[in-house]
Amino acid sequence: VRRKRKRCRAVKTAIVNIGAIVTGDWRDPTSDGDAIVMADGKIETVGTASADAVSACDVVIDADGATAVPGFIDSQVHNTFGDYTPRQKTVGFLDSYVHGGTTTGITASEVHVTGRPKDPEGVKALAVAAYKCFENYRPGGMRFWGGSIILEPGLVEADFKEIADKGVWLAKAGFGAVETPYDYAPMIGWARKHGMITTVHTGGASIPGSSGIWADHLLKMQPHVSFHVNGGPAAMPDEDFPRLINESDIALQVCTAGNLRTLLMTADLVRKADQFDRLLIATDTPTGSGVMPLGMMYTITHLASLTDMPVEHAIAAATGNNAEVYNLNAGFLRTGRDADVVLLDACVGSSKDNALDGLRNGDIVAVGAVVTDAVPRFVGRSRNTPATNRNVRVAECRLPMDFSGSAH
């Protein structure tokens, strides 16, 4: 069952005159047509829309030939409570990530909460509180999945059943006071038994008091996802990477705030093994690397320009692949999926004519509009990218709202 989210006000939105539609599915990466119609938070039509369907919409966005992609899913965000990070003392970073095309965020655990508890009752309470706080909170329009229990000594199987019954569906290993990382294995097993997605810090220690985690540990634990497998920030030894690919089905998440060389190596190994579904893109921010609103796009363009990976596949690793591993209804431009759409274009002054060629060239491209839950969050200009080459605009609006983006 794909995870459902509570709806915002019902808005019907159409995007017309789209130049290219990238689906988020690397096996079937593009869709014919030039229109997307959305209503009640879901995509109704991808491809061709009748004049009657468009005229029935509250908002009509003219893409003017820009490229539509699914909203990016950042599957490793170090949230706390609200739109604030004490690690970088920054307010509004999630709202800013929306202006970089990220429409869904997934917690990497609330490890950066100041004075966070470390006893079993405390880590359970922290996870439940974070999950509940983000149930109805949409910073900038982003859907954020908060609440990942941090695995600490003393937790027993009944604890995982208790918090799973309260809605918590994520568990994180790597920051607990265990004697060795092997001690996480029973807790990972209990979390999986009760339907939780399990994630594990990978590579050298990232904060004082934590320990490095390598292939031997991960193969013993068998989590769903190896977080920042390319290093967070220090990577595993090179010989560990093929072991994870060939000896497990663990999803391999590569992050912007990691090691670029091993990111490219992981992508190459995954493709050679015909295991591309397991490659996920995230940012692992805000951490010591800072706040990175364009982090997802940077990793997409690194893969598309520094390897022979098709840019549509790199986009899928940031969208549909994440959705499948985390059982989300987002991540694809398909009928019935969550209506999270981003319009991208070559920047003014770019040597390339469109977004896909720009990303292949290694460029950061312009974000011309973001729609989440079928609601336009801004149309025309992102505050984090140069202007679009094309005139992305609101062609019709029957709502008393202004969807123009904030200026620089």
Quote the pLDDT of residue 2: 60
Question: Angle at CA 192, nearest 5°, toward 191 and 197?
Answer: 90
Tell the residue number behind the tokens 């690194």, with chain if given.
302
- Partners of 173 in the β-ladder: 200
Helix (H) or strand (E) run with residue 122 in it: helix 120-133
The answer to whether 18 and 63 are in contact (CB under 8 A) is yes
- 341-360 pLDDT, tens digit each: 999 999 999 999 999 999 99
Token pair of 188 as six digits: 């990972």
Q: Give the separation between CA 172 and CA 177, rounded to whole angstroms.
A: 13
Residue 14 in tokens: 């159409």
What integer pLDDT is reported at residue 189 of this predicted model?
A: 98
* Lookup: tokens for 106: 């997934």
189 vs 38: CA distance, rounded Å: 39
- C-alpha distance from residue 139 to each of 92, 105, 144, 161 (Å): 8, 10, 8, 30
pLDDT of residue 1: 53
pLDDT digits (tens, 9 = 90+) for 183-229: 999 999 999 999 999 999 999 875 555 678 999 999 999 999 999 99
Query: Could you tell me the mean pLDDT of each successive run of 10 residues in the chain, 408 residues long?
Result: 62 97 98 97 96 96 98 97 93 96 97 95 98 96 98 98 98 94 97 98 73 93 97 92 97 96 98 98 93 96 98 98 98 98 96 98 98 96 94 94 69
**Three-class secondary structure of residue 392 per DSSP:** coil
How buried is residue 49: exposed, middle or buried, by Cβ count under 10 Å (0-12/13-18/19+)?
Answer: buried
pLDDT at 37: 98
Q: How far apart are CA 186 and CA 155, in angstroms?
A: 10
Cβ neighbors of 23 (< 8 A, separation 6 or more) are 29, 30, 31, 46, 70, 316, 320, 332, 333, 334
Could you give the 3-state DSSP secondary structure of residue 34?
coil
What number of other Cβ atoms are within 10 A of residue 29's Cβ? 17
pLDDT of residue 405: 64
- Do 54 and 48 contact (CB within 8 A), yes or no? no
pLDDT for position 221: 97
Where are any strands of DSSP class E within 196-283?
Answer: 197-200, 225-226, 251-255, 279-282
Alpha helices in 176-259 (DSSP H): 185-193, 215-221, 240-247
Q: So what's the pLDDT on residue 8?
A: 54
Q: C-alpha angle with apex 149: 234 to 80, nearest 5 degrees?
A: 75
Provide the pLDDT for residue 212. 86
Q: What is the pLDDT of residue 401?
A: 84
Sequence-ordered strand ranges (E) for 17-63: 20-22, 30-31, 35-39, 42-47, 59-62
Place of tokens 């594990």: 200
